[in-house]
Chain A
Amino acid sequence: MILSDYIHNKEHWLSRLDGRVKLLVTLIMLVMVLSYQGLAFHLLVTFLCLFLCWQMKIPGRVFLLRFSEPVFIVLVILFLKIFFSGGEGIFSTDIMGIRITAYREGLAEGISIAGRIIAAISVMAVMVFSTPFTELLAALSWLRVPKAFIEILMYAYRYIFVLIEDAGVIYDAQKNRLGYAAFNRRFSSFGVLVGSLILKAFEHSQNITVAMVQRGYDGNIPLFDQKPFRSSEVFVSLLFISMMGVVWTI
């Protein structure tokens, strides 16, 4: 499992942008992508985002992994739409005695949905590859996401890596003792692994609470005040959004 957080090009100009600006622009772009009915805007957004990802020198493997699932889902949806919706048939064929018909309306709808999915994924990819997770946390906090939610996000993000390590150790220990050899043992062992992870989570939570209490924790994590925006960033972002807005209306 590659976690995209590792892939973050610090040299690129996008990385130096304020995380709040990037998050806001991403959200606005997502709204535009989701609400657009045609294909032109989706193609433009996809092309732009892919270009930025290429500029950021994102490794090909990471890039492909991120896009592999959406691409498969696009193919499934295209299949369902083309062959299972109604309307004017484009072509028909027989497979194993079954008549399969491709429909024009289904094709159009499928392509529209496919464009929407790929464009949305591309927008997210640009944000994720240019913004460390902690900056996103700060941006979410600025957007008035409840503090409790931010706090839980922070703990979760921090301890994913610790618990993955723990899970790996437990899994290897089970495997070494034939925990996954027989089919019926496999799921029992997996259940034990999950239970053990929860126990580890509980132990870690007790220990970090003690550590935090001795550093003054009173139930709420303090957060820094946000710095003011750079006017140049705000101006350029507004200009970009306006330009995309114009294209959206076409």
Chain B
Amino acid sequence: MMNSTIKITFVALIFCSALLSADTVYAMHISEGILPFSWATLWFVMALPFVAYGLYSLNKRSREDLSFKPLVGLMAAVVFIISCMPIPVPFAGTCSHPCGTGISGILVGPAISVVITAVALLIQAILLAHGGLSTLGADIVSMGVMGSFAGYFTFRILRSVRVNIAVAGFMAGLFADWATYLMTSVELASGIKGEAAFLPLFWKVLIAFIPTQLPLGILEGAITAGMVVLLYKKRPDLLIKMRVIKPGEVTMQKQGMTALIVSFFIIGALLSAAIPAGAAKWTGVDEAVIEKVAKEHGREASEPLINMEQGDLPLFLFLVAGALGGFAAGYYWRVLITEKSPRVNGGKEVITKRK
């Protein structure tokens, strides 16, 4: 039973990948008409507050800077172009395209990025029939809201723990892309399930996306990283103006890999904590086998020299040692990670302001 499910899924995967391999297929947008009226309306209702808030933020910022609206308009044009560029996806033998919303989320913030996405999607629906008017709400929620927020917060969180800007950009692009596809899978499955159950269809859609979107997310991460690094090298003043980095902020120290490893450990710890608490407590082989056999042969186990189960002095000493060690590690964190001083001008960033 399990084998045939895997086989069926595998065949479906291959078939869907084959179908999607025409380079005119851009699987990110939900095409016109896919969603029934009720779902299309729901996604519009969900998207509207985000777009409204984005417009509010846009108007507020453009009162301070007259060039901001034209900049946002041109960013929308850039996102349009990026999300139309076909990229060959390795291992999948097909083409897909980046979302671009991670990039705009980093540069202008998630709220305004939602507006940018809405504009880019509307133009795509009209000019290229990618996506549609009826599915605009759904596409805004997946690309604009999920993509922008995932990209923005990933970038900000990583930058707040002083992760290298390239790594932060990579992770932002990666998560923006994957978040978009996750949401698209939810929207598609809920829209086309009819009377069937939601979850099985959701998994099928998600699995169908994996061959292209898993590697594409990595590619989008690489593209986003390349973009932020280029902007930092050529126009750091632009990044400062757009509040991506602060003046004098160091961006290129080599803490990236360490932060990534720590992140994976944290994620791993969280995942393991999510394992249902009802899992049975299994006795170890010492008790289940060794002690049992020894008891059967008249050699019962004696009390341990340090009885950890009864809270005695050695235990207390272990706790104190752990606390002291943890405190020391935290206090000297930066020394342990070996922070490298920035390469430019003895620690101070020189920002050349263009006329």
Contacts and interface: CB of A to CB of B under 8 A. Distances in A.
User: In the complex, are there CB atoms of A and B closer than 8 Å?
Assistant: yes
B259 interface: no
Contact of A205 (B15, B71, B128): B71
A38 interface: no
Given A98-B8, A192-B230, A209-B70, A156 B129 contact: no
Contacts of A164: 81
> Which of A73, A95, A105, A167 has its CB near the most chain B CB atoms (within 10 A)?
A73
B169 to A, nearest CB: 9
A243 interface: no
B344 interface: no
A89 B41 CA distance: 33
A27 interface: yes
B192 A199 contact: no
B103 A194 contact: yes
Contact of A194 (B15, B116, B223, B235): B223
Interface residues of A, number: 90
Interface in B318-333: none
Given A156-B80, A199-B235, A202-B71, A31 B32 contact: no
Interface in A39-71: 65-70
A76 B55 CA distance: 37
Interface residues of B, number: 87
A34 B25 CA distance: 22
Nearest to A154: B73
Contacts of A105: 195
Interface of B: 4, 7-8, 11-12, 15-16, 19-20, 22, 24-26, 31-37, 40, 51, 55, 58-59, 62-63, 66-67, 69-78, 80-82, 84-85, 87, 90, 103, 107, 115-116, 118-120, 122-123, 125-130, 132-134, 192, 194-196, 200-201, 204-205, 208, 219, 222-231, 234-235, 238
A30 B134 contact: yes
A166 B20 CA distance: 30
Given A35-B36, A109-B194, A201 B77 contact: yes
Contacts of B73: 151-156, 158-159, 205
Interface SS of B by simple majority: helix
Given A109-B194, A156-B80, A191-B230, A124 B11 contact: no
Contacts of B208: 76, 80
B36 A34 contact: yes
A65 B230 contact: no
A69 B19 contact: no
A242 to B, nearest CB: 19
A155 B74 contact: yes
B224 A69 contact: no
Choose among A3, A76, A152, A204 the residue with the greatest number of B CB atoms under 10 Å from its CB: A152
Contact of A199 (B125, B201, B234): B234
B24 A65 contact: yes
A14 to B, nearest CB: 16
Interface string A110-135: 00010011111100110010000100
B33 A136 contact: no
A116 B38 CA distance: 14
Contact of B66 (A70, A109, A125, A217): A217
A21 interface: no
B70 A195 contact: no
What 6 A-B pairs have minimum CB-CB distances, sorted nearest first? A191-B226, A155-B73, A120-B33, A195-B230, A201-B74, A117-B33
Contacts of B116: 152
A201 B35 CA distance: 34
Nearest to A157: B123
A82 to B, nearest CB: 12
Contacts of B7: 96-98
Contacts of A196: 230
Contacts of A192: 226-227, 230
A119 B55 CA distance: 32
A163 interface: yes
A70 B223 contact: no
